[in-house]
Amino acid sequence: MLAQARAGTSAEIDLAFTIDTNRSLATTLHEVYLPRLGTRVVRYRSCGVSERK
The verdict on residue 50 lying in a domain is: no
pLDDT along the chain (53 residues), means of 10: 84 93 94 75 59 49
Q: How many structural domains are present in the chain? A: 1
Tell whether 6 is covered by a domain. yes
Residue 21, domain extent: 2-33
Please choose, from the candidates 41, 33, 42, the residue with its C-alpha nearest in 3D space to the C-alpha of residue 5: 33
Instruction: Tell me if 41 is assigned to some domain.
Output: no
Q: With respect to residue 27, please indicate whether it lies within any of the assigned structural domains.
A: yes
**pLDDT given at position 53:** 47
The answer to whether the CB of 28 falls within 8 A of the CB of 14 is yes
Burial, 24: exposed, middle or buried (Cβ in 10 Å; 0-12, 13-18, 19+)?
Answer: exposed
Q: What is the DSSP letter of 39?
A: P
In a domain, 39, yes or no: no
How much is the pTM?
0.52
Q: Are 17 and 24 in contact (CB under 8 A)?
A: yes
User: Does residue 52 lie in a domain region?
Assistant: no
